[in-house]
Structure 1
Amino acid sequence: MLPSSLLAVSFLVVVCTAKHRYDRSTRESLTEWRTTECTVLNGEQTEPCPSPALNGAWPCIRYSDLCNGMRDCPNGEDESPIHCHFHSLHRAEMNAIREKVHRLSLALSRRTSTSTPL
C-alpha cells in the first residue's frame, strides 16, 4: 500500500497535467477572442456575455440582469439553470457575509462608545 503523502502527490501531478493539456488545447482551438471591456452603467459594473451577438459584438450586462427572467445575452446564458443556481448561492453567501460584517461593526461601535478613555 502506498503512503498517503505519495498518493496525494501522485493525484496532484495527474490533475495538474490533465489541466495543462486541457488549457493548451482549448487555447489552440479558440478562433475568436473577446476584446470587449465593459464599463460601469448607472453606477453598476457590467460584465461581457459568454457569447457574441450575430454582428460579432460582445454585449455587456449588469450584475442585476443575471437570472432576472429576461434573456440579455445573445444565447440566453445569463438565464441558464446552472448559472442561475450558482448565482443564487453566491448571492446568498455574499448577503450572509454582509450581514455578519454589519453585526460585527455594530458590536464594535457599541463597545468603543461605552468604553471610558484612559
Structure 2
Amino acid sequence: MHSPIHLVQSVKWPQHQCRRLGAQFTACSRHFAHESVFCVRASQMCDGTQNCPYADDEDPTRCLFHRLSMEEMSRIRLAFSHLTEKGKPRKKPIVWSDEQGNVRDQNGDFVV
C-alpha cells in the first residue's frame, strides 16, 4: 500500500501539481484553499482503502463510475480479442449477453 504524497500547502492548481509527479497521480479534494495537497495513484482509487484525508478516493458515486468504466474496458478488450486470432480476422461470430441475459450477435440480433 502506498501512502498519499503530501505537497506544500496553498497550491493554486492541485491537480496540475499532482500530474507533475506522473500521469498516474490525481489530487485528493480539499475543503479549504489553505489545506495541504495530497496526491494518490490512480490505482488507489476505489480500492477499498481510504487514502485521501476526506476519503474522496472511496466516494461511492465516483467508485460506481470507476467500476463501470473498468467493466466496460473489459468488454471492449474481450470484443477485440474475439475480432482477431493471431492478427487474422476471426471467422466465428461474436456473441455477448446483454443486461437481461439475452445472447446477441455482433449485429445485436438474438442468438438461439
- TM-score, structure 2 length as denominator? 0.54
Task: Name the structure, 1 or 2, with higher relative contact order (CA <8 Å, separation 6+).
Answer: 2
The answer to which structure has the higher helix fraction is 1
1:110 aligned residue: 88
User: Which one has the bigger strand percentage?
Assistant: 2
What 5-or-longer segments of structure 2 have no aligned partner? 1-10, 90-112
Aligned residue pairs total 77
CA distance in 1, matches of 2:40, 2:79: 29
Whichever of the two has the greater Rg, that structure is 1
Q: Give 2:18's aligned residue.
A: 37
| Displaced runs of 4 or more, over 3 A | none
Read off the aligned partner of 1:50 and give its amino acid letter: S
Secondary structure at the aligned position of 2:51 is classed as: coil
1:74 aligns with 2:59: no
1:71–1:110 distance in 2 versus 1, CA, 3 Å = same
Q: RMSD across aligned C-alpha pairs, in angstroms?
A: 3.0
TM norm structure 1: 0.51
Q: Gapped runs of 5+ residues in structure 1?
A: 1-31, 112-118
